[in-house]
Structure 1
C-alpha cells in the first residue's frame, strides 16, 4: 500500500462546498488503495482577514502573538475537512503542526523546520485513518507555537512526505500545473509537463506563486516526487524532479515576477574591506532577506551600496539601518518603492550565450527601465518599475518563444 501526501491551498478549501469536494477527492485516493496524509491551508482569504484585524489594533504586532493568531486559520480547515471525511464514512483525525511532531527554530513568523517525529502520523495511519495536518505551523524546542511564513503549507507537505518516505507528494492549487508565466498576466502561457528541481526552485524564489521556495528546496534535498495539480479538474499536472528531459528545446523555461520589491540605497559608506560584511551581517542578524546587490564608488574614500528587499520589509530595514548607523558609519539610507522584479529561468541558458543580451534588448524595445540586474547560471533578473511589470512579462514571454496557441486556463478566484 503506497503512501501519498496531498496538500490543498486556501482557494481549494475556501468554502464548505470546496471542503466537501476535497473530502471526496481524498476519499477517492483512499479507495484506490492508498494511505493518505492531507495538509491544508487556512480557508480562502482568512489569513488576510486575521492580519488585517491585528493591524487595526497595532501597526507593529508582536511576532509571537501573530503566530498565535494566524495558526487558528489552519485549525478551522483541518477540523472541517476531518468532519467532511467522517460524514462520508471515512475514518480521519485532524492534527495541528505540533501534534504532528513538527519542530521548528525558535523564530516567530518565518521559522524553519528542524525535525519531524512521524510517530503520531504513522500510528494514525496504521489504524486506517486519513490524517489531516495543519500546514504552515509547528512548535519550537521551548514550546512556543511558530509559523513558517506565508505559503509555508507547501513546505509542511513536502517535509512530511520526506519524513514519512511517502511515494509522492501532490500539491493541489488553483491552476493545473506549472506554467511558463502567470496565466493571469499572460493568457498564452502554457503548462509544462515536467520541470527540474533547480528550475522550479529559481521560479519559486523569484515570485512564481505556485510553490513555496523552501518546499522545492526540501523536495530536491530529499528527492521527494512532487506533482502540482488543480483542485478543480482532473487534468494531468506538472511533475517536478531531476534534470528536465521533456522541455530541452527551450532555452528559457519560464518567466517569473515579484510585484513587491523595494530598492534600498546606503550612501557614503566607508570604503573599507569589511564595510560590506558588516552591513549585510547586521541585516542578516535581523532576519532581513536581501536579494540584488549593487555597489558603486562615490569618492575615493566612500562608496554607495544598493540592494533589494521585499516591499513589506522597507520600514523595518530602514529602522535597522538607522539603529546601527553609527557603527556602520554611513551617511544616509533611502528607499525607492513601487518596484517589481521580472526574471527569465531556464537550464538551457548554461550552454546558450547571449540570453541576457536578448532579455535587455526585449525590455528596451518595450520601453522598460532597468534599475538593477542579478544573474546566475540559469536565471537573469531585472528590477524595474512596478507599473511596467506586466508589459515586461508579456514581452519576454513572446520574445523567448513561450507563447501557446491556446489561452491558459485558471481555476478558482
Structure 2
C-alpha cells in the first residue's frame, strides 16, 4: 500500500466536469489499495475575484485579517466540492479546513505571509493519518493555515504547493503528485517554441532556478519544503490519471545554500579586452569564449561594457589565456588591446529569495565592504546569486563581513 498526496491546482478543478474527473482519478487510485490525501486549491480565478470584490467594496479599509478570511473562501468551497464528489463516486471522504479539529497546518498570527509552526503541524498531522486508516480520503484546503488563536492565515505565494509538500513530509508519504494544467516541465515555454519537449525528470535545484526566472510550474518558495526522501512529480489534469508520467522532481533541496557565502579556493585573474563600440558588434563574445573553450580554459565569469569585455579565469590558466586572447586581438579588427589584471578573490552569495528581497539588497551587501575600504573590482548578480570580485588580499576579510550581513 502506498500513501500519496495529490495536489490539484485551480485550473484542474476549474469547473464541475474537471472536479469530477479529478475526483475519479483519486477514487481509481484508492481502489488500487492506496491511501490518498488530497490538497486542493481554489477554483481557477476565484481568489482573484474575491480580492477584486473586497477591494471594490471596502478599498483601503480592508484589514489583513479580513483579507485572509475572504481569500480563504475559495479553498473552503473547493475542498467541500471535491470531497462531496468523491463520496458521490462511492468512497468515504472528509473535507478538512481550518475550522475542523483535525486541521494540521499551524502557523503564527501573520494573516497573509504566515510562518509555519513545524512542531505543532507535525503533531496535528497524526489526526489525518487516523482518517486514512479508517479508509477515508481527506481533502485538505491548500494555501491556508491556522494561527495561535484559531484565526485563518494564508501561506503566501505557492501556498497550496507548500501544503502538499509539508503534508507529504509530516506523513512520510510515498509520493507527492502536483496536478496542474501542463504536462510537466518542458525544455522551454511551448507557447514560444513549438519544438519544446517534456523533461522526464528535473532536480529540485534546477526547477527552483527555472521557477525563480519566470517558469510558472511551481513557485520556488514551495520547493524548499520538498522532502528529499519523498518522490514527487508534476502531471497534467487532462490525463485524469494519477499514474501519468509527467516530470519527476528528483534530488534534495540544498538547505545549506538557502543563504550562503563562499569564497573560491584559488585566485582568479581578470583579463580586460577593449575596442571601440564592442557592444554593438555581433559575434565578439562568441569569439572570446570559443577561443578559451577550444583550449580547455574554464571561464568563471564574463562582463561586457560599451567598449570593453572582462573575462575571469583561474590564475593558473591566466597566462595561457592572456596569450591566446592576445592573438585574437591582433587578428580581429574590432579589438584594440587587452590587459591582465591583478589577482582577485571570487565570493559568491547564494539565496533563492533574492528576487523577493526588498529593494537595496545589493547596497546592503556592498556597504560594509565600503566602510572597511575593500574595493570591489567587479560585481554581477542574478535572481539567485551575487558574485563579487575583490583584491586577493581582502578576500577573507570580505568573506567574514558578508557572513555577518547574512546572519
1:13-412 residue pairs with structure 2 within 5 A? Answer: 13-60=13-60, 61-97=62-98, 99=100, 100-115=103-118, 116=121, 117-220=124-227, 222-233=228-239, 235-242=244-251, 289-290=357-358, 293-295=361-363, 373-374=381-382
Quote how far apart the aligned CAs of 1:293 are. 4.5
- When normalised by structure 2's length, the TM-score is 0.60
> How much is the aligned-residue C-alpha RMSD, in angstroms?
2.8
Q: The residue matched to 1:218 in structure 2 has which SS?
A: coil
More strand by share: 1
Q: The residue matched to 1:5 in structure 2 has which SS?
A: strand
Distance 1:375 1:57, change over 3 A: closer
2 CA distance for matches of 1:375 and 1:15?
Answer: 36
Quote how far apart the aligned CAs of 1:240 are. 0.7
Q: For this pair of structures, how many residues does the alignment match?
A: 264
Q: The residue matched to 1:38 in structure 2 has which SS?
A: strand
1 CA distance for matches of 2:153 and 2:108?
Answer: 8
- Aligned counterpart, 1:262: none
2 CA distance for matches of 1:2 and 1:229?
Answer: 18
8 Å Cα contact 1:159-1:215 kept in structure 2:
no
8 Å Cα contact 1:97-1:133 kept in structure 2:
no
- Aligned counterpart, 1:390: none
1 CA distance for matches of 2:71 and 2:223?
Answer: 23
Quote how far apart the aligned CAs of 1:289 are. 3.0
Unmatched runs of 5 consecutive residues or more in structure 2:
254-353, 372-379, 388-407
1 CA distance for matches of 2:93 and 2:39?
Answer: 13
More helix by share: 2
Deviations 1:40-82 (A, max 9, x none): 0011111111010011024433111110001111111111111
1 CA distance for matches of 2:75 and 2:131?
Answer: 20
Q: The residue matched to 1:113 in structure 2 has which SS?
A: coil
8 Å Cα contact 1:109-1:149 kept in structure 2:
yes
Deviations 1:235-268 (A, max 9, x none): 5211111179xxxxxxxxxxxxxxxxxxxxxxxx
Distance 1:33 1:185, change over 3 A: same
Quote how far apart the aligned CAs of 1:376 are. 5.3
Deviations 1:127-151 (A, max 9, x none): 1001100000011123221001143
1 CA distance for matches of 2:248 and 2:160?
Answer: 19
Quote how far apart the aligned CAs of 1:111 are. 1.4
8 Å Cα contact 2:213-2:383 kept in structure 1:
no
Deviations 1:349-388 (A, max 9, x none): xxxxxxxxxxxxxxxxxxxxxxx94265799xxxxxxxxx
- Aligned counterpart, 1:255: none
Q: The residue matched to 1:208 in structure 2 has which SS?
A: coil
- When normalised by structure 1's length, the TM-score is 0.59
Q: The residue matched to 1:121 in structure 2 has which SS?
A: helix
Deviations 1:68-126 (A, max 9, x none): 00111111111111111111111111001463221012212121322212122112111
Runs of 4+ in 1 over 4 A off after TM superposition: 291-297, 375-379
Distance 1:108 1:243, change over 3 A: closer
8 Å Cα contact 1:135-1:154 kept in structure 2:
yes
8 Å Cα contact 2:212-2:383 kept in structure 1:
no
